[in-house]
Amino acid sequence: MISRSGLPNTKHGLRLDLRRLILVLCALTALVMLCASYFASYRVQRQLLIDHALEANRVYATKLASITETFIGNALQQLQFSAGVQGRQLSDAVALQAETHRVLAQSMAFNSTFVIDADGTLLSVSPAPLRHLVGGRMHSPGVDEALHLRRALVSTPYVSAANNLVVTLSQPIIDEQGRYLGYVGGTLYLREHNILNSLLGEHFYKDGSYLYVVDHQRRLLYHPDNQRVGTVVQGNALIDQLPTLPSGTLALTNSQNVEMLAGFATVPSARWGVVAQQPLSRTVAPLNTLVLNVIGASVPLALVGSLLLWWLALVIARPLWQLAASARRMDSANTAEDLHRVRAWYFEAAELKRALLFGLNLLHERIGRLNREAQTDPLTGLVNRRGLEFSLSLLEAEGRRFSAIVMDVDHFKRINDSHGHDTGDAVLRQLAHSMRRCCREGDLLCRTGGEEFLMLLPGADLAVAASVAERLRAIIEDTPIAPVGDLTVSLGVAHWEGTDDAAGTLAAADRALYLAKQSGRNRVVVA
């Protein structure tokens, strides 16, 4: 019986009808699609934000690296001009000091300026608190580097005589005869206020991002945390790329285990790297608010869509529900009339009977194909032992005479051992191809074991079978198979007259094959 609610009452309890199944399916589909769209939108927007942040950081780092490069170039030009002036007044201590002070005060580019002669003696220095060092021999790494290279230089960071972590910019002093007289230098105190602080300390990002600068030896020259200036950075994949790339981007986890989005650029003249980075969490934080707003805006639309789906489910399910109800009353006199009254307004309802018949035929076809697959060797496409037994039983039941050819590959184990099982499989497939070339349309080709094959030739006498076997043996011998090369087979031939057990004929063919193996292989023996 059918209840008023549209649900069939059965002994086994309450079962869902098509209408409710459609509603559940539509609801689940809508939910899955909605979640998938939210997720896909979130992932796409997140990646866009990350890509934008990476590129923005790269552009910003490139801009600051360019500004730093310009500053270094201008500073070196100032020192070059001063070197020309100082070269003409090295013996005049007052003039030296005046020029040194002028360079320091000219652009406020340096924390200190000085002149050192070719022997490493400090001739002049500014500001005044450092003048007690004048006349002393300087032996810092920066002094040694400048005296050794004797060219325009941005030094490696080192600790100065005044116990400051410094970077020195220097220009050589050359007289008119081309002799090296010393150099003019300016220093940046990395742990105190300097031009790098002015260039890099304030920037327009307010999202937790910051900048730092490292030299070619991975030493921090600038960092918002002044305590880290001068330390060597280890285990940073981004810094590993600085010597090879002029600029780039990278998502990484920093030393505080925070995921960062970094862009970097290099300062070629100093071999410094400028890195701009910001936390990943701060980058994607606005996206979370955006997704929540989208969800809130889509809830009313989802409710309207749910009502529409409910109405559509009723309209779609009604014809099929009426057909199902009529099918349960096939013995009723009014069934035909009821079916005529069903308004099958869409194709599926109108073609239900035809679809069922088609499905039944398709099922039989698939069962037949499964039977064929169960009787087929997957490697060679030949009939397997199960198919052989079935065909043999048919021939025996019909009393139809046949000849059997049993074939075995000579030294097949050597092929597998020398070339591998993949090559062995390729050899077996080639042998199956050769067998097909030698057989007739009604012959049965089987693979009965690893390298053992069998041919059933219905209606063929022993002479015909022996001829077929010899032709197959010759084809295989004359057809090299890469990378194995020449290949030979041994074959045994037997004939069934239709009187005794057909399986005995196969045993006779096996014995003939054994004789072919004992006689030297690569031959045909007839039982």
Quote the distance between the C-alpha of residue 444 and its chain's center.
48
Helix and strand numbers, DSSP H then E, in the chain: 14, 18
Distance (Å) of CA 111 to CA 14, 96, 189, 196, 205:
89, 18, 6, 11, 28
**Phi-psi region for residue 493, left (φ > 0), alpha (ψ -120 to 50) or beta?**
beta
- Three-class SS state of 220: strand
Six-digit token pair at 75? 């500073």
The catalytic site residues sit at 451
Distance (Å) of CA 30 to CA 33, 295, 296:
5, 14, 16
112 touches 104 (CB < 8 A)? yes
DSSP assignments along 453-519, one per residue:
EEEEEET--HHHHHHHHHHHHHHHHTS-BTTTB---EEEEEEEE-SSS-HHHHHHHHHHHHHHHHHT
Which of 509, 508, 472, 468 lies closest to 489 in space, CA to CA?
472
Residues in the chain: 527
Six-digit token pair at 102? 């002028």
Angle at 112 between CA 111 and CA 114, to 5 degrees: 160
User: Which are the contacts of 264, defined by CB distance < 8 A and separation ≥ 6?
Assistant: 58, 61, 238, 241, 242, 245, 247, 248, 249, 250, 273, 274, 275, 276
- Three-class SS state of 378: coil
**Strand 158-159 with 112-117, pairing:** unpaired
Provide the strand spans (E) within 381-428. Answer: 402-409
CA pair distance 292, 288, nearest whole angstrom: 6
DSSP assignments along 104-168, one per residue:
HHHHS--SEEEEEETTSBEEEEESGGGGGGTTSBP-SHHHHHHHHH-SSEEPPPEE-TTS-EEEE
242 touches 267 (CB < 8 A)? no
Quote the distance between the C-alpha of residue 412 and its chain's center.
41
Q: What is the largest CA-CA distance in the chain?
A: 133
Buried b or exposed e, range 268-281, using 16+ CB within 10 angstroms: ebbebbbbbbbbbe
